[in-house]
Amino acid sequence: MKLKKTGKIFLSLGLFGWILIAVILVSSYKVDAQDVNRETMFKKLELFSQVLFNLQQNYVDSLNTDDLINAAIDGMIDELDPHTNFFQPDEFDKFNTSTKGEFGGLGITINKIGDYITVVSPIEGTPAYKMGIMAGDKISKVDGVSVVGVSTDDAINQMRGEVGSKVVITIKRPGVKGELDFEIIRDTIVIDSIPYAFVMDNGIGYIRIRQFNANTTKELRAELDRLEKEGMRGLLIDLRFNPGGLLTEAVNTVNEFIGKDKRVVFTKGKTDSANQEYFTRYNRQRSGYPVIVMINEASASASEIFAGSMQDYDRALVVGKTSYGKGSVQRLFPLSDGYGVKITTAKYYINSGRCIHKDLNDKLMKDPRVRNGDMSSEEIDKLREEADKEHLKDIHYTEKGRIVYGGGGVNPDLEINQAKMTRLGMELRRKNLSFNFSVDYMINHEPEVELDFEPDQALIDDFLEYAKEDSVEWTDTQLDSTMNWITNNLTSNIISKKFGDVEGYKIAIRDDQQLQETLKIFDKAKTLDEMFDYAVKQKALKDEEAKE
């Protein structure tokens, strides 16, 4: 029996049937002497089937064969990188749906780390995001029922429900004692790739790309056309907290700025099909204004390809913090009975030749000491320092000869830190008090609210009393350090209720220190070349200060 003939029937069989055929192949397929690895694999498959058969025949209690085989597959997958995953039928369907721009849920991306369903990131603008759910939160209960140790699929089923219904999520947050309860109203989650695009009062165009889905290029072109007609003098593209998405969309959006027939990405893997090059295809090249791209530690995958490619072609100044470093390629393979598997098949390399993938992230995500909280932050920091030293040895060059580095994410041309939120601010956000208060306020005061609305002291005092009634406590010092955030957050929420999320967002970014510092660059340097020179000088100043 030849493999090519039998391989075609694998897809039509269940998992147990696949194993049975593998056993038949072991006895009937003649393995060449040189094909030791394949021979070993078939022997192990035969061993696996023998164990399974003996368990079914002899184990004291009844067994569910599907559960046993699925657990075995999960164990096999667990030996690989964290981006290679085996999907149950429901999970596979939901994963496919999430890349198409719309799905139902609370608005959180989750992954099972150890025994806990852990929030990878809240999706901006969704109910979970507005309630203050944060990346790293460990979900311990759903509606009072423990989900510790349950499968991702079971946890999702418990969290989802009818639109408009309520669910209470209990989480454990690193650095916070005890558990926190969040009452969230379920909603249909529609993901706009570009939720915010407008020209600010200073003439700078602002575009926030939330993720790269099937609509990103179409949305970006429309927004760029509109902002250019409005006469923007510069463009700020915000990719912070962008987890990535579709590679083709990353390539096509870069196309808007660098023109046709430019290589953006190439991949290297084990198979010929995994070795690909991706070029721009359209005669589209925006010009006439400088571009700044903002990234942070949560910018990953396709967002890193966009930022790194704009950097490689010297088409934008990249600012913020070094990106996550997710530069591996995954391919979805449908399996029988609705199952699926996502396999890492290659790594991305952008035009300068650098790979943005940070291997340390994969190692930390898979390390049981990290999962169980047994590795100290000092140990993790030491590993990161060692990785950074190696990362800075991997030198590459942009089109104009500027130095960039591979193997550690995308390094910004100019590093700009974000201000940390105070503990009081975090507590007010966790309880979603500004949002709830503004809903009550607008019932009686909506006619009075104009676009230039600012809360007076009486309104702020009412809000603070509202917070006290919800058991929020603070000292005078804590209140003083949080007052600007409280005022701005109240204003943003109230404006949003009457004039929409975009107008509210314009208010919210007033308190975004990282963004406000970035905007100043447009006034200090008028062209991209001037911005590159400015970044070099600023880095030199920081290096001198560090020596002192």
Known catalytic residues? Answer: 301, 312, 326
Query: Please, what's the b/e burial string for 193-214 (b: 16 or more CB within 10 A of its CB; e: otherwise)?
Result: bbbbbbbeeeebbbbbbbbbbe
- Amino acid at site 4: K
Backbone angles phi, psi at 513, to 5 degrees: -60, -40
Which residues 6+ apart lie within 8 Å of 478 measured at CB? 422, 423, 424
167 membership: H or E segment, kind and range: strand 166-172
Taking the CB of residue 476, how many other CB atoms lie within 10 A of it?
7
Question: CB–CB of 236/258 below 8 Å?
Answer: no
Q: Taking a C-beta distance cutoff of 8 angstroms, is the pair 407, 348 a contact?
A: no
Task: Give whole-number Cα distances, 18 to 14, 49, 109, 121, 340, in Å.
Answer: 6, 10, 32, 36, 15
Strand partners, 266: 277, 349
**Which H/E stretch holds residue 17?**
helix 15-28
Do the Cβ atoms of 385 and 369 come closer than 8 Å?
A: no
CA nearest to 504, candidates 514, 513, 494: 494
Residues 6+ apart with CB under 8 A from 377: none
357 φ/ψ sector (left φ>0, alpha ψ -120 to 50, else beta): beta
As a three-state string, the secondary structure of 398-414 is CCCCCEEECCCCCCCCE
3-state class (DSSP) for residue 212: strand
Residues in the chain: 548
